[in-house]
Amino acid sequence: MKAAAKRPVPGEAVDVQLKAVADPTRRRILELLKRRGCCTLEAVRASDPGMCVCDLEAQLGLTQPTVTYHLQLLREAGLITTRRIGRWLYCRRNEEALDRLGQWLKDL
Q: What is the CATH number of the domain that holds 27?
A: 1.10.10.10
Count of the separate structural domains present in the chain? 1
Rounded to whole angstroms, the Cα distance separating 34 from 52 reads 13
Q: Tell whether 87 is covered by a domain.
A: yes
Structural domain includes residue 57: yes
Predicted TM-score of the model (pTM): 0.81
Domain holding 95, by residue range, is: 8-106
Q: What is the pLDDT of residue 11?
A: 73
Strand partners, 52: 90
Question: Does position 50 have pLDDT exceeding 90, yes or no?
Answer: no
Task: Give the lowest-confidence range in 6-10, 72-76, 82-86, 100-104.
Answer: 6-10
Position 2 in a domain: no
Q: 42: number of CA atoms within 13 Å, CB side? A: 0
Greatest mean pLDDT range, 7-16, 47-56, 63-72: 63-72
pLDDT band (50, 70, 90) for residue 41: low
Closest CA to 6 of 97, 86, 104: 104
Q: Considering the domain boundaries, does residue 92 fall inside one? A: yes
Task: State the pLDDT confidence band at 10, using cuts at 50, 70 and 90.
Answer: low
Residue 33 near residue 93 (C-beta atoms within 8 A): yes
Residues 6+ apart with CB under 8 A from 42: none
Residues with Cβ within 8 Å of residue 53, at least 6 apart in sequence = 64, 67, 68, 71, 88, 89, 90, 91
Is the confidence at residue 4, as pLDDT, over 70? no
**Domain assignment present for 16:** yes
Establish if 55 belongs to a structural domain: yes
**Is pLDDT larger for residue 96 or for residue 46?**
96
Report the distance separating Cα 59 and Cα 33, nearest Å.
11
